[in-house]
Amino acid sequence: MKTKIKYIVCLLLLSTGIYAQSDEELPKNAEELKVLKAQVKQGDLHAQYLLGYSYLTGISGVTVQKAEEGKRLIKKAADAGNADACRIMYKMDPLKYYDYRGVAEKLYTEDGGGEACYYMAELCANDKRQCQRWLKTSLKKGYARARTALESIYNNDWSGSATSFESWVNGILAIGESEDVELQLEKPKTEIKYISEVDQNLPETNEQHENTLALVIGNENYASVAPVQFALNDASMFAEYCRKVLGVPEKQVIYLPDATYGSLVGAVADVKNIAETFPEGELNLIFYYAGHGIPNEQTKDAYLMPVDADPQKTNICYPTGKLISDLASTGARSIVVFLDACFSGAQRGEGVLAENRGVVIKPKEVSPKGQMVMFSSAMGDETAWPYKEKGHGLFTYFLLKKLQQSAGETTLDELSDYLVMQVRRQSALNLKKQTPTVVPSTAVGEEWREWKLK
């Protein structure tokens, strides 16, 4: 019964305008419907989606409502890779929620047009900052529907829910609060705080380093694989150290808990846009990531894994090679990258991710570019372990510890030696093996050793 109710509610959402397709493309008379059907026969996926949508909703008297046929056509288009069809299917098929959502995010991001950016805002509606960013981009590209939603945000008419996104635009009350109705929504982002000595008594600075920008990501709660223990605590505390110890201005610390593919792509784009406002060679950039890494079993390429991704589908994960290129393209004076993740297919702790069938893979090495030095928590075929007694990843615990002990004044050379020694020793005491690596780009030579994060 509940499954049927979900389906009826989804039809209601479609027909009333929430998640609705823009009217311009839908058939308005029998002749246009005939043309649309002909396009479907020719293999046009977008036409197939539009015909399915028309059948699903029975729009404007042009078609009768053929809900099952409509859903079949939309599903077929989604499975073949149509972004709009995926956007509808991820709300209609709870079992493949994250699959369809991830594909939609990737396709809309690659499209980059005004309408695509508008639908990316819908997918990111639970994240106010990302939603607003996509709407602004949509409006700049001339998509008028984005204006009303932006005005609602500026007027504080915000509910932070994907189900109410279109209600701002269409003036429709949000649907789905009845206890008999279950809508498939994003998992809530919860941060669990663990108290160790590095989580308190931070040596705060009065300095503000206006030329420093930090992007901090902590991915703990995954849709399709085991969580990464303590990743949220790792990232939230590193962001806190950036603000309080390193003196990075509050607005220049971009912190993403449980980042989806879309929000991760959006955040990197934000960094590149902000970097453009700095004169060449004046920005100092810090990137931190705690979460799953994943290798492609065939190519051995390494990826950051968003929380809505599937380890069997690295096409909706973020390539570390692209990350390095994107960060290097900012032209920053210094770029320091911290990756508390392993890319062998192992999990933080015991076990391996599903794609690798119990096999640990040694991924391809990625070379830093530009003015960059990259700290990785473990060598290519090793596991990044948790430090359970401290409530952190082993690597991040000692990273924070050194920043705390030095009040942020440590050089990267000192930090490198400390991390390698302490992480190797502590992992060995637990009968494990974890060896951090530090790799500078060719361009920086040995000068990185004197750099400081502060």
Please report, in tens digits, the pLDDT of each residue of the chain (454 residues total).
Answer: 444 444 443 443 344 333 445 556 777 788 888 888 898 899 888 888 888 887 877 665 556 567 788 888 888 888 888 888 777 776 666 556 567 777 777 777 777 788 887 878 777 766 667 777 777 887 788 877 777 777 666 665 544 444 444 444 443 223 222 223 232 333 334 444 456 899 999 999 999 999 999 999 999 998 888 889 899 999 999 999 999 999 999 999 999 999 988 889 889 999 999 999 999 889 999 999 999 988 887 888 889 999 988 777 788 889 999 999 999 999 999 999 999 998 765 555 554 443 333 334 566 778 999 999 999 998 877 888 999 899 999 999 999 999 999 999 999 999 999 999 999 999 998 888 899 999 999 999 999 999 999 9
The partner residues of 373 in beta bridges, in order of sequence, read: 336, 440
Q: What pTM value is reported for the model?
A: 0.65
In 3-state terms the chain splits into helix, strand, coil percentages (rounded to 5) of: 50, 10, 40
Which SS3 state, helix, strand or coil, does residue 205 take? coil
Helix boundaries (H) for 155-194 = 165-170
Instruction: Give the closest residue to 86 by CA, choosing from 217, 306, 262.
Output: 262
Q: Which domains does the chain have, with CATH numbers?
A: 1-95 (no CATH), 112-165 (no CATH), 197-450 (3.40.50.1460)
Contact between 371 and 334 (Cβ < 8 Å): yes
DSSP-assigned letter for residue 183: -
CA distance 332 to 354: 37
In this predicted structure, what is the pLDDT of residue 91?
65
Query: Looking at residue 202, what is its pLDDT?
Result: 96
Number of neighbouring beta carbons within 10 Å of residue 431: 6
116: buried, middle or exposed (CB in 10 Å: 19+, 13-18, 0-12)? buried
- Residues near 277 by Cβ (< 8 Å), separated by ≥ 6? none
Rounded-to-integer distance, Cα 360 and Cα 225, Å: 16
User: CA-to-CA distance for 363 and 314, rounded, in angstroms?
Assistant: 13
d(CA 329, CA 74): 39
Structure tokens at 245: 């110890």
Number of helices and strands (H, E) in the chain? 15, 11
Closest CA to 153 of 135, 176, 180, 141: 135
